[in-house]
Amino acid sequence: MWNSKDIYYISDSTGILVESLGQALICQFQEISFYEETYPFIQTTEAARKAMDEILAKSAGLRPVIFSTIMDEEVRRIFDRPEVEFFDGFAFLLDRLESCLEAKALRAPGFTHHQNSDKMDKRVEAIHYCLGHDDGTNIKEYDEADIIILGVSRAGKTPVSVYLATQMGIKAANFPLTAEDLSRDTLPEHITNNLQRAIGLTSSPEVLHQMREKRYAGSTYASLATCRQEVQQAQQIYLKYDIPYISSTGKSIEEIAAQICQELGISRKK
């Protein structure tokens, strides 16, 4: 078994797709450490040869792994050499899909990233909304939100909101459950009037304690006792208002965002 392996992502576009594909596969091999590097916008044979020479020089004969989503057959062939382990992200699936659909694929670089103006406008609008409704700002405008994320401090509300807006075009607001909210066991009417859009985030007290200690070491705010109390009080509020909630502990931002959409029945097509 290899202790480490060099991984290279080669794309004729941004590289986002091939990175996602490769990382979804290599994460299944936790015992191996990986060096990862991406070569985007490889669209000519000259660029391909230059990239391949660099890869072979860096890997020094240790058979690096190359994940590719390059469409052009001539460019792609440059990377399919015996000195490397070459994985083509498109060829097998696209060939089969052409046969199944009895049609020829466009085979255009990065075509999935070409958005029409309406979709782009909606995404920009979602980003503006997210930035303007972070951390309890402008709660009077929560009627316009697609999602309202509730949670105690450092539970992960802001990064998830930003991901929902930038990657999925979803208007996400987030509201911090402060000590005052938690002690009163109530929510503002602008949230209670939009409970169908609300979802709670929670975390384990231990993880919350570690997060808070990084910024406010030794404070009452960061103490494990405070974290335990706030997590319990937040869950009581979620139960009182019948708000679904999920734990952010041990999950990536992408996983949390996907779970939120699933809980609220929001389509990723948005």
- Of 105-119, 198-212, 213-227, the poorest mean pLDDT is in 105-119
Distance (Å, rounded) from C-alpha 212 to C-alpha 209? Answer: 5
User: Within a domain: residue 270?
Assistant: no
Last residue within a domain, chosen from 89, 113, 137: 113
Is the same domain home to 152 and 253? yes
CB count in 10 Å sphere of residue 185: 11
Query: pLDDT for 25-34, tens place per residue?
Result: 998 998 999 9
Q: pTM score, two decimals?
A: 0.67
Is the same domain home to 92 and 144? no
Is the same domain home to 134 and 98? no
Is the same domain home to 193 and 71? no
Given phi > 0 = left and psi -120 to 50 = alpha, else beta, which region is 5?
Answer: beta
Q: What pLDDT does 47 receive? A: 96
Is the same domain home to 53 and 163? no
User: Within a domain: residue 201?
Assistant: yes
Task: Please state the domain count of the chain.
Answer: 2
Query: pLDDT for 221-236, tens place per residue?
Result: 999 999 999 999 999 9
Percent of the chain topping pLDDT 90? 73
Q: Using 50, 70 and 90 to split pLDDT, how confident is the model at 91?
A: confident
Distance (Å, rounded) from C-alpha 58 to C-alpha 4? Answer: 14
Is the same domain home to 129 and 251? yes
Q: What is the mean pLDDT of residues 113-136?
A: 83
Question: What's the angle, vertex CA 158, arms to CA 152 and CA 159, rounded to 5?
Answer: 125
User: Within a domain: residue 269?
Assistant: no
State which residues form the domain around 87: 4-113
